[in-house]
Amino acid sequence: MEFLYEYGLFIAKAVTIVVAILLALGGIVGIVSKQKQGKGQLEIDSLSDKLNAITELAESELLTKDELKKHRKDEKKKLKAQKKQKNKSDINEANKGRLFVIDFSGSMDAHEVEYLREEVTAILCVVKPDDEVLVRLESGGGVVHGYGLAASQLQRLKDSNVKLTIAVDKVAASGGYMMTCVADHVIAAKFAIIGSIGVIAQLPNFNKLLKKSNIEFEQHTAGAFKRTLTMFGENNDEGREKFKEELEDVHHMFKDFVQEQRPSLDIAKVATGEYWYGIRALDLGLIDEINTSDDYILNANKEKDIFTVKYSMKKALPERLGLAASLGLESLMMRLWSKGTNTFR
């Protein structure tokens, strides 16, 4: 038992020293990273090349040599026949349409819109009449102004007569649906969550707790409704009514926007704040097709060159070092914890 006690004490000391060193390193890295922020970079990759490589790999693994040889020969004949059928006015390999794929996974504050605006701008700089944009969207919504700007970024594509398709594999609710409804064509998986055309706002009030603790709170404003509800002051019915009025106004704007984008919708029926799964959303007219982004891309690859467009912030060296230190600490802690629990079990 004495040995186990000493061994446990040794592990505790080792962990303490390592944590102290890494925390110090992390602090230094944090200070340096604030002084030098990473720069954004645009990445455009050929998704068609990746899909074709996957196809070739699968064929080489699953087919015999004779079958593979015959398959390749048939493919060449097929391509040759297709080229013969094409007239000079037809789209050929050199100028066939392209599909640009953007991924948008939105958070509550919609800060991802900063990346989206760069991606949209890049596409608009090179877009051609036969090109299309596919946005793989996933968001449960968030702040009104953030998602309003995100929807406006997608509107830029439509204003430039670029075909816009949005695919929802999991969820496009509230602000996420505000973006989705902008598309010319909306596809969604069978059980994707769609809708939630409503507005919500909530906040706690600590006024009673402050009074109980004999803490006074003062707030001074100029303008009758500069502040409607407060977290620390005493709220009144007048402020509550004004707050609800503002929510209703935002909801009306939300409904008007959706109705403008999808005129055939029964807006009174779908703008109740409810959400529906893809199958039901199709019946209600919230989407146009049941499909996944994967199948849509595979089918498009037969006729278009597909590219992913992604804008991201390039992390500076200190930031990367900080991340590596954090991951290293986590790994070390897990290993030591595992050894310690196994020893004292």
Of the residues 174, 196, 293, 304, only one is catalytic, namely 174
Q: Which long-range contacts (CB under 8 A, 24 or more apart) does 145-148 make?
A: 146/109, 146/110, 146/111, 146/113, 146/175, 147/106, 147/110, 147/113, 147/174, 147/175, 147/176, 147/178, 147/179, 148/175, 148/178
Distance between CA 75 and CA 124 in Å, rounded? 35
Of the residues 39, 226, 264, 302, only one is catalytic, namely 226
Neighbouring C-alpha atoms within 13 Å toward the C-beta of 135? 35
Residue 292 neighbours by CB distance under 10 Å: 18
**Exposed, middle or buried by CB within 10 Å (0-12, 13-18, 19+), for 29?**
buried
Which residues on adjacent β-strands are paired with residue 305?
98
Active site residue 226: yes
Residue 18 neighbours by CB distance under 10 Å: 15
Active site residue 160: no
Task: List, in order, residues 6 or more apart from 222 with CB less than 8 Å away.
Answer: none
Q: Which of 307, 289, 309 is nearest to 96 (CA)?
A: 307
For 286, phi then psi, to 5°, come to -75, -25
Distance between CA 275 and CA 52 in Å, rounded? 38
Distance between CA 345 and CA 337 in Å, rounded? 12
How much is the CA Rg of the chain, to the nearest whole Å?
Answer: 28
Catalytic positions are: 174, 226
